[in-house]
Amino acid sequence: MDSQPIRPVGIVAALIVSAPLLLGTACKQTNKPPSVPVVTCPSSGVVGATLTLKATSSDPEDDSVAFGLDWSDSSGPSWTGFVASGETIAANRVFNDTGSYSVRVKAKDTKGDESGWSTPCYVTMGTYPDWVVTTIPVGNDPHDMACLPNGEYLYVTRETDDTVSVIDVSSSTVVARITVTGSPRHVAALPNSQFVYVSCYHGNDVAVIRTSDNTVVARVAVGEGPNGLAALPDGQYVYVASRLSTDVSVIRTSDNTVVRTIQAGLDPRGVSSSPDGRFVYTANAGGGSISVIRTSDDSVTATFAVGGDPHRVVPLPSGALLYVTNASSNVITVVGASDGLIEANIDGGASPTGLAPLPGGGYVYVANRDGDNVSIIRTSDNVVVRTVPTGDAPWNVGVAPAGDRVFITNRHDGTVSVIGK
């Protein structure tokens, strides 16, 4: 008898036939969605200012991840692009209406599988500080001020009295007075809140104050007529502009040594750092310009023409735009930080001098020396939305880290105005 091929029968045949289907099903089932995002965001903000949310999600298969954002406003959910698994993304939103918002996030992988929604973050958007809530007597000729990054104290220079007054922010009272000879003008705090640096115009040096006991622990010789100064975000260096010698001294804060001197524009006054610390900007009153210093090699990489008698220059928190006060032309100039192109010229008050943005960047406050007031500029459209009366000859502007208070030095009546909500 001829042999016959053995044929699979019954359950064996069924398994053989269905094996590819089972394998396909098994492969599909092995993909798992990303983890529910871990989300952080501030609990409050100011209308018109940028609110930043951060989110992180990891994918079990290490696929790239995109994030769906639900801001609970009329814009509806939106998706980001894909990033590496475990990478933290930052998303920005400007709320134009006051109120409370529930913000949540979910993630999806490149295969389209989605996580669940995150636990909501609740954000309350309020108004910006827009009226003087108190006035603090500090003594003769308050020039500049710096609020410690921890928000506890405000250091105010008083030039003609050779004094730095220390204000307890929570109580709005002067709690200490520090003798600093040599006409203290400008002040900058290190990010760790442990030291403040004070330029002494007639002393041709910088005083270093230890904030734990308000003691002057060092004097650092710099150029002639030191004026504006700024600390880099990492706190390793302080840049000091000297008006009369037209240069910028770079102080290494670890040992309070000048490591480099840079030739700047004519009569450099205000100094600021970019948010990432890559650049330092000086406002050159004598030359009507802004100098851009690259901090990696301390070279002047660009000079931007801005207007008449620029006193201060500050970047917005995004770093993309610079706001400059031009005291003699009563104009605030908005300049592109990368290309120097003028984005806007805003009609300000009489003799604008100091200025500072709120932490979210939605508003910039400008002290108008001869107008005895402060202009509040909404940066989304560069419109002056409010003018706030202050003391006599408002000179410089400081902002609390939380953005809920703005401080103004009034040189001719010896006070600090506190603008709140």
Give the pLDDT band of residue 4 (cuts 50, 70, 90): low
Taking 80 as the threshold, does the pLDDT of residue 24 lie above it?
A: no
Let me know the angle formed at the C-alpha of 223 by 192 and 190, rounded to the nearest 5 degrees: 5
Give me the mean pLDDT over the 279-285 stretch.
Answer: 97
Instruction: Provide DSSP, 86-133.
Output: T-EEEEEEE--S-EEEEEEEEEEETT--B-PPPPPEEEEEEPPP-EEE
Q: What is the pLDDT of residues 75-101, one digit of tens each?
A: 667 899 999 999 999 998 877 778 888
CATH superfamily of 38-126: Immunoglobulins (2.60.40.10)
> What is the three-class DSSP state of 183?
coil
Least confident span in 4-18, 146-160, 215-229, 242-256? 4-18
Q: Are strands 310-315 and 342-347 parallel, antiparallel or unpaired?
A: unpaired
Among residues 300, 271, 265, 317, the alpha carbon closest in space to that of 286 is found at 265
102 φ/ψ angles, rounded to the nearest 5 degrees = -100, 120
Please report, for the chain, the start and end positions of each structural domain, with discontinuous segments joined by +. 38-126, 131-420
Residue 46: the pLDDT is: 74
Q: What is the pLDDT of residues 164-193, one digit of tens each?
A: 999 999 999 999 999 999 999 999 999 999
Q: What is the pLDDT of residues 351-402, one digit of tens each?
A: 999 999 998 888 999 999 999 999 999 998 999 999 999 999 999 999 998 8
Paired tokens of 74: 């009329």
Q: What is the pLDDT of residues 197-222, one digit of tens each?
A: 999 999 999 999 999 999 999 999 99
Residue 74: the pLDDT is: 66
Give me the mean pLDDT over the 270-284 stretch.
Answer: 97
Residue 324: the pLDDT is: 98
Give me the mean pLDDT over the 137-149 stretch.
Answer: 96
> Do the Cβ atoms of 312 and 320 come closer than 8 Å?
no
CA dist., res. 368 & res. 83, Å (int)? 46
> Do the Cβ atoms of 310 and 292 come closer than 8 Å?
no
Query: If you average pLDDT over every residue of the chain, what do you get?
Result: 91
Find tokens 């640096």 and name the residue.
Answer: 197
Pick 39 or 359 by higher pLDDT. Answer: 39
Q: What is the pLDDT of residues 189-202, one digit of tens each?
A: 999 999 999 999 99
Taking 50 as the threshold, does the pLDDT of residue 264 lie above it?
A: yes
Give me the mean pLDDT over the 22-33 stretch.
Answer: 64
- Long-range CB contacts (< 8 A, 24+ apart) of 370-379? 373/349, 374/349, 374/406, 374/408, 374/417, 374/419, 375/332, 375/348, 375/349, 376/128, 376/130, 377/323, 377/332, 377/346, 378/48, 379/48, 379/316, 379/321
Q: In the CATH scheme, what is the code of domain 131-420?
A: 2.130.10.10
